[in-house]
Each structure stands twice: as C-alpha cells, then as structure tokens.
Structure 1
Amino acid sequence: MKYLNYFLIVIGAFVAMYAKSGANQNQYILIIGIVFLMLGVYRISRRIPSKQDNDDITEEDTLN
C-alpha cells in the first residue's frame, strides 16, 4: 500500500511537468497532476506520527 503513495507522487509530478512543458498548456491535466501529487503526499504524511503528540504525553506524565 505504501508503494501506491509513491506511485501517486511520481505520476502526479510527471503529469504536472508534462502539462506545464507545452506551449499550449492544458490546465485540466495540470490540475489532475497536482491532485495526484498532493494525494500521495497527504497519504504519506498521514502515517507519520506527530512529534507534538509525543511531547504532550511525556509532559503530562511528569506532572502527575
């Protein structure tokens, strides 16, 4: 499943660069590429734990 995220990022970046490179750039293809890119980045960042959450737990434990 994590390879799907990387695949979305690569495909999104490729499509966005392809849509941007032409003289008659197609805005809809550019938008689709950016959506794929952002979807992949979002899915990866969702799995990374927040550092702030870990710090809050340790501060509460030390206060009690």
Structure 2
Amino acid sequence: MKKVKNYDYVLVLLGSAAAIYAQAGEQQNTLILVLGIVVLMFGLYRIYSTIPSKKEEDKNEF
C-alpha cells in the first residue's frame, strides 16, 4: 500500500514538472501542457481517494 502511495506522489511531481516545462518556453507546447495536467490530476485523484470522507466519520460516531 505504501508503495502505491509513493507512486501517486511521483505522478503529481512528474505532471507538475511537465506542466511547468511546457509553460517555460517562448513557444508553448500544448500537448506537453495537457498531458502534464492530466497526469497531475490523475495523481491527485488517487491521493485524495484514500482520504475518508468526513460524513462517513460523523455517521460512525452515532
């Protein structure tokens, strides 16, 4: 499980690095920018899907 979590953080770092790299040049590379954002969002989705909902915690208290 911990190995998968590290993989998700690597996805976020790679996606953000690609998005920054695409914006850095004078000529923007749209394909790299879009792919970087997609990888970034996919990594964030996988990280946030492991966080339990607050509503679920409130239901368990009663």
> What is the TM-score with the length of structure 1 in the denominator?
0.86
Q: What runs of 5+ residues in structure 2 fail to find an aligned partner?
A: none
- Give me the identity figure in percent: 44
CA distance in 1, matches of 2:52, 2:44: 14
Gaps of 5+ in 1: none
1:20 aligns with 2:23: yes
Q: Distance in 2 between matches of 1:9 and 1:42?
A: 10
Superposition misfits of 4+ residues, deviation over 4 angstroms: none
**Aligned residue identity for 2:18:** V
Q: RMSD across aligned C-alpha pairs, in angstroms?
A: 0.9
Q: How many matched pairs?
A: 59
Structural mapping, 1:35-54, within 5 Å:
35-54=38-57
Equivalent position SS for 2:49:
helix
1:42, distance to aligned residue in structure 2 (A)? 0.2
- Computing the radius of gyration over CA atoms, which structure comes out larger, 1 or 2? 1
> Could you tell me which amino acid in structure 1 is paired with residue 55 of structure 2?
Q
Q: TM-score, normalised by structure 2?
A: 0.88
